[in-house]
Structure 1
Amino acid sequence: MALIGTILLFATLYWFWRLHRRYRGRQWWRHSWPAIIALLVSFSILGTSDESTQPTVKTKTVTKTHLVTANNDKQLTALQAANRASASSLKQAAKKLSSSQQHIDKLKATNKQAGATSTTAPTKVNSDHNPSNTTLASKTYNGQQTITINQNQPAFTAKELSTSQGAWQQYGNLDSLNRVTAANALLNQSLMPKAEREALNVRPTGWHNKRISSGWLYNRSHLIGYQLTGQNNNIKNLMTGTRSLNDPEMTTYENQVAAYLKESPKNYVRYQVTPIFKGNELLARGVQMRGQSVGSNAVSFNVYIFNIQPGMTLNYTDGTSQVSH
C-alpha cells in the first residue's frame, strides 16, 4: 500500500505541473480539481500504510493462584507422621543390628578364647595329624567339655577345600548298628534355609530321653546344624546328644560359621562333623567338629566336644542314665 500511495503522489504532482504549464495565467487551478482529489487519495493511502506497519503489542495478564486447602494440610500432616515413624523404625533397626553384631563379636571372642579360631595360622593341607576315631573315643573328660585337636588346625587337604563344584553337602550312611557316621559339606549362603524348622521325630540310637533338673537330658542333635543346610528330619544327620553338647557347645561353632556365611554370598566354609562311638556303644562319646573358611582364616577350628551332661552319669552302651552321686 505504501508503494501505491507513493506512485500516486508523484503522478499527481506531475499532473499539477502539466496543468500549470497548460493553463498559465488562465486560473489553471479551476481545471485541477481532479488532481486535487488524487492528491488527497494518495495522502490517505500513505497514512493508512504507516499505521499498518506499526507493530501490534498484545499484553496478556496471567494470574497464578496457589490454594492451600484443608486436604493439603492433611496430606502434609500424614507425610510428617510417616517420616517420624520411618525415623523411629530406622533407629530400632540400627539398635537391633548393633545388638546382633555385639552378640556375634562375643561368640567370636568366646570361640577364640576356647581355641575355636586362629586368625594368624595358615590353612593346613595335610590331614596326617588328625587323630583316629578310636583315639578320640579313648579320651577322658576332665571337666572341660570342648578341647582342641591338632593344635586347633582343621587340616583339610587342598582338594577338600576346592570350590570348583560349588556348595555341596554329604551325609554318611548309617553303620551296621544304625549309628550315624560323618557329615561333610562345603557350606555357602546358598544352602542356608529360608523356612522355619519343623519338629523332629527321628529316634537316633541311644535315645532314652528324660527330664532332669535343668530340662530334657537329650536333644536330637544335628551333625550339621539346620541353620547351615536346612537338613532337618534326616536320619543320617541326627544323633543323641546331651543338652550341653548341643547347646551351647556345638551351637557356638555353628553360629560362628553362619555369621561368616551371611557376610557374603562368596564366602565358603569346608565343614565336617564326626560322631565318635566307642566299640559297639549306641551313645556317642562325643563329636569332632572341623571348619575352615576357604581363602581366609576367618573361620578355622578343630575341636572335640564330649557328650556329657553335668550332674548326670551316662551309660554309653545304650544311652540310659542316672543322677550322679
Structure 2
Amino acid sequence: MQKPLPYASQRQMVMASLDHLGRARDSHIQLSNAEEPTAKHSERLTYDPVGWHNFKFWYSESGEQTGSKQAWLMARGHLVGYQFSGLNDEARNLVPETAWMNSGNYSGMDEGNTASMLYYDNHLDSWLATHPNFRLDYQVTPLYAQDELIPRKVRLAYVGYDDAGKRIQIKVGGGREESGDDDATVVYLDNTSPNATINYADGTATNTVSAAPAAPAASAPAASSSAPVASSESSVAPAAQAPATTNDPTVYVTGGGSSAVYWYGTDSMPANTNKANLVQMPESQAIQQGKRHSMTER
C-alpha cells in the first residue's frame, strides 16, 4: 500500500519482510538531511536477491541492432538508496534491477535519464539538502506479476514534511510524476533495458543487440586496386573489456577524500579550500560512497 509514514521528529526506516518466494516487498524511510548516513559506501554486496542472474550483453548507444560494446545487464538494486538508508547488503532492500533503470545507462551513470532511479534519488537528496529543517518521506515498492521473481516495475512515492509536521508536495520534474495518496508524488519505473528481453519469471534474459561484424583480417594485397580498406578501429569488444566510462566523469573530493560532496571542477570551490589535499575519483565511486554533488557548483 502506498501511504506516507506518520510524521516523527526522528529517523524512521520500515522494511517489509521477504515474502514466501524470498522477494523484497517494500522499503520506506523518513528522515532529515542531518540524519543521512555519513559512513562511506565501501562494503561489497554479497547477497544475491531471488531471481538474480547477470549477463554481459552487447549494446548500441545509437539504438542500432548491432553494437561494439558490452556491459552487465543487471544490478543488485537498492530500493531505498544508500545515501538515505545507509544499508548495503540488506535482503529486504535489494531486488534485481537493470542497470538502465538503476543508473540510467548501460555502463556508467546518466543522472539525467528520467527512466532511472538515479534521477529521482539525486533530486530528492538535493531537496533534503536545500530544506534542512524539513523531512523526506520516501517509499519504494517493487511490483511483481503474480509469482515472477523479477519486478516488472518499481514505484517511487515521496512527500515532504515541514517542521510542524504538515505534508508538502515534492515535484522533481521529468514528466513521469503522478499524484498519489496523502499528497505524495508517485513515479512508476519500468525494469527494462533497451538491449534485452527479460524473463521476469526466473531472471534470465536474451540480448536483442548482436555483436557488430569483426573487421576483416589483414591479408596480402589483392590484384584489384579497389580492395576494401580495413577499419582503423575494431568493432568487436574484447571479451574482458571493461565497461565504458563515457558517462562517468572524474570528480574532485576535498579533505583528502573525506568530504560528503564532490565537484566537477576546482574553480567554484571555496577560496579557503586546500587544493593540495584533493582526491580524484570516478563520479560513480563518489556516489557509491554516499557523496553528492556540491549544491554551490553550477
Q: What TM-score range do you get, normalising by the shorter chain? A: 0.5 to 0.7
Q: 1:322 aligns with which of 206, 210, 221?
A: 206
Name the residue aligned to 2:93: 237
Based on CA coordinates, which of the two structures has the bigger radius of gyration?
Answer: 1
Gaps of 5+ in 2: 59-69, 105-115, 163-167, 172-183, 210-298
**Whole-angstrom CA distance in 2 between matches of 1:255 and 1:265:** 16
Are residues 1:176 and 2:20 paired?
yes
Gaps of 5+ in 1: 1-131, 133-154
Are residues 1:310 and 2:194 paired?
yes
Q: 1:291 aligns with which of 150, 158, 163?
A: 158
Counterparts of 1:142-153 in structure 2 under 5 Å? Answer: none
Counterparts of 1:149-228 in structure 2 under 5 Å? Answer: 156=3, 160=4, 162-197=6-41, 198-213=43-58, 214-228=70-84
Q: Which range moved further: 190-199 or 219-228?
A: 190-199
Asked if the contact 2:158/2:170 (under 8 Å) is kept, the reply is: no
Describe the SS at the equivalent of 1:227. helix
Name the residue aligned to 1:301: 185
**Whole-angstrom CA distance in 1 between matches of 2:51 and 2:75:** 11
**Whole-angstrom CA distance in 2 between matches of 1:246 and 1:164:** 29
**Greater share of residues in helix:** 1
Asked if the contact 2:51/2:96 (under 8 Å) is kept, the reply is: yes
Asked if the contact 1:191/1:230 (under 8 Å) is kept, the reply is: no
Find runs of 4+ consecutive structure 1 residues off by over 3 angstroms: none
Asked if the contact 1:182/1:274 (under 8 Å) is kept, the reply is: yes
Asked if the contact 1:287/1:307 (under 8 Å) is kept, the reply is: yes
Change (3 A) 1:278 1:194: same
Asked if the contact 2:148/2:200 (under 8 Å) is kept, the reply is: yes
**Whole-angstrom CA distance in 2 between matches of 1:191 and 1:237:** 19
Q: CA RMSD in A?
A: 1.8
Equivalent residues, number? 169
Residue type matched to 1:238 in 2?
Answer: L
Asked if the contact 1:221/1:239 (under 8 Å) is kept, the reply is: yes
Change (3 A) 1:207 1:161: closer
Residue type matched to 1:212 in 2?
Answer: F
Name the residue aligned to 1:271: 138
Asked if the contact 2:170/2:185 (under 8 Å) is kept, the reply is: no
Residue type matched to 2:11 in 1?
Answer: A
1:156-189, Cα deviation, whole Å (9 max, x unpaired): 4xxx454235221111100000000111111222
Asked if the contact 1:167/1:190 (under 8 Å) is kept, the reply is: no
Name the residue aligned to 2:242: none
| Structure-1-length-normalised TM-score | 0.49
Describe the SS at the equivalent of 1:207. coil
Residue type matched to 1:315 in 2?
Answer: N
**Greater share of residues in strand:** 2
**Whole-angstrom CA distance in 2 between matches of 1:251 and 1:244:** 10
Are residues 1:250 and 2:94 paired?
no
Counterparts of 1:77-156 in structure 2 under 5 Å? Answer: 156=3
Describe the SS at the equivalent of 2:51. coil
1:143-164, Cα deviation, whole Å (9 max, x unpaired): xxxxxxxxxxxx74xxx45423
Task: Using the TM superposition, give the Cα deviation of residue 278 of structure 1 relative to its aligned residue in structure 2, in angstroms.
Answer: 0.7
1:74-106, Cα deviation, whole Å (9 max, x unpaired): xxxxxxxxxxxxxxxxxxxxxxxxxxxxxxxxx
Residue type matched to 2:73 in 1?
Answer: L
1:122-149, Cα deviation, whole Å (9 max, x unpaired): xxxxxxxxxx8xxxxxxxxxxxxxxxxx
